[in-house]
Amino acid sequence: MKEAFTMWRHTQMVVLVALSAAIYAAILIPFKGFTIIPGFTEVRPANVFPFVFGLLFGPAGAWGAAIGNLIGDFFGTLGLGSIFGFVGNFFLGFLPYKMWGAFFRRGENMEPTVNTGKKFAVFVSIVVLASTVCAVWIAWFNDLIGFVPFAALASIITVNNAIAGLVLGPILLLLLYPRIKRWGLLWTEIMRPNEVPQARLQTVGAILMWVGGLGALAVGLIIGLGLYQQGFAAAGFSPEGAGQVGGFAIGVGLIPFLILIIVASFMLGGREQVLAAEEESDRVR
């Protein structure tokens, strides 16, 4: 998480934040009329950009996703839910570059593209995870404040994100990666190793992120759809019943998983990717 703040030292990274936010918002806004849940979400092919910009631009892509989504909200969906729309979209761009390094050992080619079978599989898994984490943050908060039931919003956001990422992401990465690398705009070529945390418990952090993200979605759906009707639940833990908003069970039941997501964010590194980029640059020279 350290690099999300140290990146502001670099003018190039600040420019990439602005570029990412502008492109994301520019594609979001024309689709505001294609609503799925009025006032909350719509068809969003633009959701491919946080995955791609997150991998290529690192923390600049994460901030760009958060800010771009907020700008888009000003055109029809701005409200209290935009607070965690900012958080959720930050994670949508944050997890791709943070989780990418967890799948590769030191010495392996870590270039963020999908030109091999393994990299394609890694990209698919990261899209699914980031889509889920983004969805649970947004849906949890909107259910908590009584706006939209968790089950409906979390399901729609997860699928919406994943479809855009899985269908358009590989194509966009293959087109953009060679050019971004040639222009020297990869985040790993801009930031320095001492500005990025070292992953001492990378594997544990990656596991916790999966448990936090998928666990929150699964438990939220079980509670929200009323699939558990025994023990303390049947005794009144969720008095509003399935499909309602503002339920105590959703509000409290997901907090442990959200905490896991936050803890895992600080355990995942990124320095290895920067060091690998430096070593490649030295070899080229």
Query: What's the domain range around 14?
Result: 3-284
- What is the per-residue DSSP string for 192-235? -GGGS---SSHHHHHHHHHHHHHHHHHHHHHHHTT---SHHIII
Query: pTM of the prediction?
Result: 0.89
| pLDDT given for residue 53 in this prediction | 97
| pLDDT given for residue 277 in this prediction | 79
**pLDDT digit string (tens) for 101-153?**
888 876 678 899 999 999 999 999 999 999 999 999 999 999 998 888 999 99
Span 202-231, mean pLDDT? 86
CATH number at residue 9: 1.10.1760.20
Residue 232's pLDDT band (boundaries 50, 70, 90)? very low
More confident residue, 146 or 261: 261
| pLDDT given for residue 212 in this prediction | 97
Percent pLDDT > 90 in the chain is 64
**pLDDT digit string (tens) for 156-167?**
999 999 999 999
More confident residue, 175 or 285: 175
| pLDDT given for residue 272 in this prediction | 84
| Residue 240 in this model has a pLDDT that exceeds 50 | no
Domains: count for the chain = 1
